[in-house]
């Protein structure tokens, strides 16, 4: 497995699956989709080796944030802050309760999923959700129900700044301005703070025939290829150049070591777990707006708005899907005795989704990466 550390030269733009309407303000999404970073890796290989890149990657882990050597991942969305306070002084955990079913309203009358229990906070403070990343030290505290400190949280304002620019619609047939009254539009780019990098891990399918055709037969040869100059990738909607550092490193081993989680979890029937999405959760959603996870009942969920994630690939076509945002937390109850690796992915089969390593061609590679927390 190879770890890439990304340092942008300039502003970046990350698009979602939503259509770009001229005349509107278009904002970059954050965090960016893992497919964007997978595409940058594959595009560099294709530009030098001219091979079919459809299935050369087994998995992508990230992107995450690195600040001064510390790794930060998307904050679990059941971590709240005190309402109307700009700075984080203390955080609060919302969770489902067995005491009652909170019949204050019907979930079917909202845009939330139809779950048995709604997560809530029983204290006297007024609290609200917020967007941030959390250090691995802070995530370890969350896993062990310990108090999370202010310095465990990295707010978006400490990661990037929004930088607006004006764009002009071009008529490609005439190579001139489109000529319509809505030819001008405004785009809000992201500029990472000076001490912030993107980091992500890539696992290559080293038995892939296309990689062998490109004389990239093993991880050492792939590492040598990416360590050759120029160490530059094209990233994001405007294909901006970014520099990178690449090294051998294993994401799963890092998580197990830093968080102290078990590599293999044995879960008994009726035992409860929490599932934290470390990347976007892309599913074919059922009528109740929740995925079907084989062998488990979803009895509670904590997430923000549904996101739109899209791909536009020469090999995979153009597709969009609705997704959970990173940091989403699902509470599950096991219907059978089962053994699960941790961390893991939720991958699709004919009957729904199950915990396993992804295989073969993947449309939305890197999505559905989850970390599992056993309750009790």
Helix H segments across the chain? 34-49, 136-143, 209-213, 219-226, 251-259
Residue 370 lies in a domain: yes
Residue 109 lies in a domain: no
Residue 335 lies in a domain: yes
Residue 192 lies in a domain: yes
Same domain, 48 and 163: yes
Which residues, at least 6 apart from 37, have a Cβ–Cβ distance to it below 8 Å? 4, 6, 60, 62, 63, 198, 200, 235, 366
Q: What is the CATH number of the domain that holds 83?
A: 3.30.1040
According to the model, what pLDDT value does residue 322 have? Answer: 86
Domain that holds residue 272: 261-374
**Coil, helix or strand at residue 281:** strand
Same domain, 219 and 278: no
According to the model, what pLDDT value does residue 372 have? Answer: 96
Which of 252, 279, 301 is at the close of a domain? 252
Give yes or no for a contact between 53 and 210, defined as CB atoms under 8 angstroms apart: yes
Same domain, 56 and 185: yes
Residue 125 CB coordination number (10 Å) = 11
Residue 112 lies in a domain: no
pTM of the model: 0.90
Residue 111 lies in a domain: no
Give yes or no for a contact between 190 and 13, defined as CB atoms under 8 angstroms apart: yes
Same domain, 47 and 178: yes
Same domain, 80 and 218: no
Same domain, 32 and 76: no
Same domain, 365 and 274: yes
Which of 213, 230, 252 is at the close of a domain? 252
Same domain, 43 and 184: yes
How many domains in the chain? 3
Which of 194, 221, 252 is at the close of a domain? 252
Same domain, 50 and 129: no
Q: Dihedral through CA 236, CA 241, CA 243, CA 249, nearest 10?
A: 30
Same domain, 275 and 347: yes
According to the model, what pLDDT value does residue 309 have? Answer: 86
> How crowded is the C-beta side of 199, counted as CA atoms within 13 Å?
21
The stretches in the chain having pLDDT less than 50 are none
Q: Dihedral through CA 280, CA 29, CA 159, CA 146, nearest 10?
A: -30
According to the model, what pLDDT value does residue 180 have? Answer: 54
Same domain, 54 and 127: no
Residue 298 lies in a domain: yes
Residue 113 lies in a domain: no
Phi, psi at 219, each rounded to 5°: -65, -35
Same domain, 240 and 178: yes
Q: What is the CATH number of the domain that holds 329?
A: 2.60.40
């Amino acid at each position: 497995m190879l770890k890439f550390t990304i340092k942008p030269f300039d502003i970046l733009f990350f698009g979602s699956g939503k259509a770009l309407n001229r005349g509107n303000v278009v904002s970059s999404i954050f965090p960016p989709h893992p497919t964007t970073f997978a595409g940058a890796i594959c595009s560099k290989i294709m530009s030098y080796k001219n091979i079919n890149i459809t299935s050369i990657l087994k998995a992508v882990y990230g992107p995450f944030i690195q600040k001064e050597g510390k790794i930060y991942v998307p904050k679990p969305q059941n971590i709240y802050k005190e309402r109307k306070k700009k700075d984080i002084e203390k955080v609060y955990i919302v969770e489902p309760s067995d005491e009652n079913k909170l019949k204050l309203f019907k979930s079917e009358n909202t845009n939330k999923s139809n779950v048995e229990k709604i997560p809530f906070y029983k204290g006297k403070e007024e609290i609200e959700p917020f967007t941030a990343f959390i250090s691995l030290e802070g995530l370890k505290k969350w896993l062990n129900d310990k108090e999370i400190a202010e310095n465990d949280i990295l707010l978006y304002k400490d990661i990037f700044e929004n930088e607006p620019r004006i764009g002009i619609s071009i008529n490609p047939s005439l190579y001139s301005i489109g000529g319509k009254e809505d030819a001008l539009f405004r785009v809000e780019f992201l500029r990472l703070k000076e001490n912030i990098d993107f980091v992500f891990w890539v696992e290559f399918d080293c038995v892939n025939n296309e990689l062998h055709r490109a004389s990239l037969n093993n991880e050492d040869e792939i590492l040598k290829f990416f360590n050759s100059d120029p160490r530059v990738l094209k990233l994001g909607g405007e294909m901006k150049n970014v520099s990178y550092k690449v090294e051998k490193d294993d994401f799963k081993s890092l998580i197990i070591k830093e968080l102290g989680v078990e590599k293999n979890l044995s879960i008994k029937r009726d035992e409860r777990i929490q599932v934290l999405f470390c990347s976007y959760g892309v599913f074919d959603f059922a009528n109740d707006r929740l995925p079907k996870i084989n062998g488990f009942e979803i009895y509670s969920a904590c997430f923000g708005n549904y996101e739109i994630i899209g791909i536009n690939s020469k090999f995979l076509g153009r597709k969009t899907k609705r997704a959970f945002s990173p940091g989403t937390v699902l509470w599950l109850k096991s219907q059978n005795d089962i053994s699960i690796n941790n961390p893991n992915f939720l991958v699709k089969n004919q009957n729904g989704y199950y915990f396993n390593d992804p295989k073969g061609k993947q449309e939305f590679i890197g999505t559905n990466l989850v970390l599992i927390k056993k309750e009790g």
